[in-house]
Structure 1
Amino acid sequence: MMKNNKKNILDALNFALDLSYSAGKILLKYQTKLSSLEITSKQAQGVASTADLASEKFIMKQISKKYPNHDILAEESAYAQFGDAKEAYQVFKEREWTWVIDPLDGTNNFLNGLDYYAICISLLHFGKPVLGVVYRPSNGDCYYASSFGESRFSNLTKSPKSKKLFSKSNKKKLSEAMLSTGFVTEKGKCFDTEFDQFVQIMKKSRGIRRMGSAALDLCLVASGVFDGFWESGLAPWDMAAAGIICEQSGVKVTDFEGRPFQPFTASILAARPPFYKELKSQFKR
């Protein structure tokens, strides 16, 4: 059985990097024939396409070959067996190793020819992420981290060299901040409440962007492009990889109540201290 040590985790991280790059080629191939893709409604929210399913099938097959004793939690197949995130967390925090996969985060962007989408791969150890990879195949940008090292950025299509992600404190005021969020009515949440929250923060900030990929948005917080991100109703595959990337870059990641990050939470709030405190104050109940 695999042990949770630096060598094994870094080996698994390199495997995940190679896997994301290969899966990216699959998505790029499908994006050249968007008009012929079959599109279906997801059980939870949004849509899925032939591209999502092909990417997921490939990733799951490769993981099963290399790590046959590990569990896999993938967006298009495995999560439907649980009633809610809390129930899923109770299960997966008891399992030693679980790979969490989003084969295509940002499907709507992908289907409309917008190149803001990503492949997300994370490995959990008793429910806690120990590595994460978020790869944007359209331009080669790749963000990754492990529990044994800081977050890094590289461009997989141009150079194997990587650089440490931005890790300084953020002393901005909310009025100076550029933020990102997301909300959709299909989540079963109250859209009016989410939108009211959005409007109130928008009035106080420099600007808010809704880009369509929570994973990439979080990585842009880790890299310092965005000053903060928040959203409710996300799934573990939306947050697991990007969450550890943020944490390992010095970003504070919690839920709206300020509780420590775990990928099965009902909400996520991410910002670098000390700005995190001011952003968090906008979510007082």
Structure 2
Amino acid sequence: MIDFKEYIPVAQKIREAVLPLLDSGLGKEMTGIASSGDTTFRMDEIAERVLSEELKSRNLPVAYYSEDRGLVEVHREPKYLLIVDPVDGTRPAVCGFEMAVVSMAIAAFRKKPTFSDLLAGIIVEIKSGDVFFADKLSGTLTFPQGKRLNLSENTDLTRLYWSFDVVGRPVRPLMAALGDLIQGSAVNGGCFLWNSAAYSITRILLGQLDAYLDPGGKLMAELDQAELRFREAGRGRIVGLFPYDIAAAQLIARQGGVIVTDAGGHSLKNVPLIPQKEGEILSLVASAGPVLHEKLLFYLGRHPVKKTCF
């Protein structure tokens, strides 16, 4: 049986390459547009280059799908598909904050892979170097040294510690969906905007957060003139939560007992790992326990945005 831990050094090499940019200000330079539609910063460009170089130099039997380059076949006959966000949390990273990771998920290579094909996940925190790893086949779950699984038992939404993302999401509809939860938890709990789904989800494992929510895909399905609203927010492009943002983190989190579904309560197992067309953004609810999860889904169900005019 293959030891997927051999892919961890690839993620660590990416981290080493971008780490000097964290406090330099150089990583903020915009260099293009990613295949996803999001902005490519200098830090992203460097991380993508190192990813490609490392995979080629190691002659690993893989293809990879990344935020900036899309699908790339490194090997003639790939056995595995890597779903990679070389820097998840570029915006906080270029400001020197810690809310940024290298995210790498490993799936069986096939024509139309889904989340059910994922085999392993690797998260490497850029600032600290901490590594999270999970192997679905062996049941292995590895935490950074000195840290352990510590799921919150909170089920009170007014005491909720949670995060959400805003990049590319139309803010007014987003606030219609999340505003009551933000206001309700802001005093006795805490609401955080980190713009890194993978970092946020791994905080649930450590007990630092109770939940992570991104209703973007729900907004796309419910909102009147949804494509127009998302393109306005994304400067002509549809930007939101994509599989590469969460593939590794959700596998690691589920192995630790975190509940993960879309905003409608559905499993992600049949969701494609490679988007088939523009605008296929996801929604996500990740929480520390089933009671809290049901409360969050009920909350989202009571806050539709279809009839709101923005």
- Structure 2 length normalisation: TM-score? 0.73
Could you tell me how far apart the structure 1 residues matched to 2:23 and 2:69 are?
25
Runs of 4+ aligned residues of structure 1 deviating over 3 Å after TM superposition are 30-33, 35-38, 43-46, 64-69, 161-164, 262-265
Higher mean Cα deviation, 52-61 or 62-71? Answer: 62-71
SS of 2:143's equivalent?
A: strand
* 2:43 paired with 1:39: no
2:265 pairs with 1:282: no
Structure 2 residue aligned with 1:151: 141
Structure 1 contact 152–162 (Cα < 8 Å) conserved: no
Q: Is the alpha carbon distance of 1:36 and 1:133 closer, same or farther for their aligned partners in structure 2, counting shifts above 3 Å?
A: closer
**Residue 131 of structure 2 aligns with which residue?**
142
SS at match of 1:209: strand
Q: Distance in 2 between matches of 1:37 and 1:191?
A: 23
User: What's the offset of the Cα at 1:42?
Assistant: 2.6
Q: Cα distance, 1:171 vs. partner?
A: 4.3
For 1:151-190, list aligned pairs within 5 A: 151-154=141-144, 161=145, 164-167=148-151, 170-184=153-167, 186=168, 189-190=169-170
Q: Which amino acid aligns with 2:207?
A: G
d(CA) in 2 for partners of 1:249 and 1:211? 22
Aligned residue for 2:293, secondary structure, equals: helix
Q: Give 2:128's aligned amino acid.
A: N
| Alpha-carbon distance in 1 for matches of 2:170, 2:128 | 35
The answer on whether the counterparts of 1:150 and 1:249 sit within 8 Å (CA) in structure 2 is: no
Aligned to 2:282: 266
1:237 partnered with 2:220: no
Change (3 A) 1:41 1:200: farther
For residues 46 and 66 of structure 2, the distance between their equivalents in structure 1, rounded to whole angstroms, comes to 12
Q: 1:36 to 1:178 in 2, by over 3 A?
A: closer
The answer on 1:215 being equivalent to 2:195 is no
Deviation string, structure 1 residues 66-101 (Cα, Å, up to 9, x no partner): 465422101111169xxxxxxxxxxxxxx9631011
**Identity over the aligned pairs, expressed in percent?**
20
The one-character-per-residue Cα deviations of 1:95-115 (angstroms, maximum 9, x if unpaired) are 963101111111111222223
Partners in 2 of 1:236 and 1:68 — Cα distance?
A: 22
Alpha carbons 2:27, 2:42 under 8 Å: kept: no
Q: Secondary structure at the match of 1:113?
A: coil
Residues 150 and 15 (structure 1), Cα distance of their counterparts in 2 relative to 1, 3 Å cut: closer
Structure 2: distance between partners of 1:237 and 1:47: 15
Q: Does 1:117 align with 2:97?
A: no
State the alpha-carbon separation in 1 of the partners of residues 55 and 100 from structure 2.
22
Change (3 A) 1:196 1:39: same
Structure 1 unaligned spans of 5+: 1-6, 81-94, 155-160
Distance of aligned partners of 1:208 and 1:45 in 2 relative to their CA distance in 1, 3 Å threshold: farther
Q: Does structure 1 residue 256 correspond to structure 2 residue 243? A: no
